[in-house]
Chains A and B, each alone.
Chain A
């Protein structure tokens, strides 16, 4: 349960990070809060040649709020979001999700960028960010590009991050003051990775209706996308049918787990 040997660097600039990542072409791993990567190192599930600690990039530790969006640096911790003070439904949802991630000590150190880039489908942020239609900034040797959060994860632990690239910012469009949202995750013990996640946002002022099922063994899926984003009834049978259609790999009792998580997210968010 000790990590295999690796080199360690802590670059001072984004350019140095991308340069060392590009040099090592797939054999370097980015270390943010380390709450997913270091367990994988200790278990030797990850054996990179180089660990690139990005914690010296202070510009990635800020949350910036404009009229239209919230920009969250990749190094913002779950705890910083959990205890954020800004009012409104966007931050209410971010706080709800952050407060339910793992454990106190993990929330204190773990980062939103690290969690998203790690791309565990059972983690919280990727489902939430898909429902919020967030965008992600990736910095690479030839500059920055943005990708929709919904297109970021290709499959379990696999993303669109290319050679030399790393995730620097998460951009969340702000919801209207009257927007509704709900988030529910099913797990057998507090803090475990979820067995099913349901998340929705409904912002009639902006014409937004998104319902997402997550913690599949693959990226989260948007439900009812071809039906205006919304179910014909808030009903377990309707949700089960849509989970089966949108995520055909989900089988047996898991269909019900996922439909029930989405139902509880909808019920909790629409009741409040």
Chain B
């Protein structure tokens, strides 16, 4: 077992962990933060996306043993965050989800790119979101939601 100390959603976590345990399993099974979903478990689908030291990362292919000293944020961290509220509203307005399984990961990646880029056109949004799979929507609503969020960012100026 490996001793780790890191922060999750701003709170310090100290734990003894099995080296093979993924961050995704740790978040869900030990911290009961079940907003982080597990899909493919090999880094393809993006459902498990969290923020690792402030940028999006796949928690299913991050070992929790390797999180020592780092900062992890999950979808639960963004309950009252203004930027995430914009994204949630736009996802809702544009029907950017149906079953919702991919949605936490979609929102976490969206938050990263909305923070990272001053602006993105439709092609750029599609390229940046290409690592998050949705089997319900056909992506049109997700792309529109992000176009709206970038438009709102431009208007804030």
| Contact for A104 among B22, B43, B68, B113, CB less than 8 A | B113
CA distance A106 to B56 in the complex (A): 8
- Is B37 an interface residue, CB under 8 A from the partner? no
Contacts of A34 on B, CB cut-off 8 Å? 61-63, 66
B129 to chain A, nearest CB (A): 8
Contacts of B43 on A, CB cut-off 8 Å? 35, 38-39, 106
A 108-152 to B, binary, CB cutoff 8 A, 1 in contact else 0: 110000000000000000000000000000000000000000000
**Minimum-distance CB pairs A-B, first 9:** A103-B131, A8-B19, A38-B61, A39-B42, A190-B130, A1-B41, A3-B20, A108-B55, A105-B56
Size category of the A interface is: 20 to 34
CA distance A106 to B45 in the complex (A): 11
- Is A93 an interface residue, CB under 8 A from the partner? no
How many pairs of A and B residues are in contact by the CB < 8 Å rule?
92
CA distance A79 to B126 in the complex (A): 18
Contacts of B58 on A, CB cut-off 8 Å? 35, 105-106, 109
Interface residues of B (CB under 8 A from A): 2, 18-20, 22, 25, 41-43, 46, 49, 52, 55-58, 60-63, 65-66, 68, 109, 112-113, 126-132
* Cβ contact within 8 Å between A42 and B22: yes
For B68, the closest partner residue in chain A by CB is A10
| Contact for B19 among A43, A51, A102, CB less than 8 A | A51
Contacts of B60 on A, CB cut-off 8 Å? 42
A 179-192 to B, binary, CB cutoff 8 A, 1 in contact else 0: 00000000001110
Contacts of B132 on A, CB cut-off 8 Å? 103
Contacts of A271 on B, CB cut-off 8 Å? none
Say whether, besides A42-B41, A105-B46, A106-B131, A8 and B63 are in contact (CB < 8 Å): yes
Contacts of B56 on A, CB cut-off 8 Å? 104-105, 108
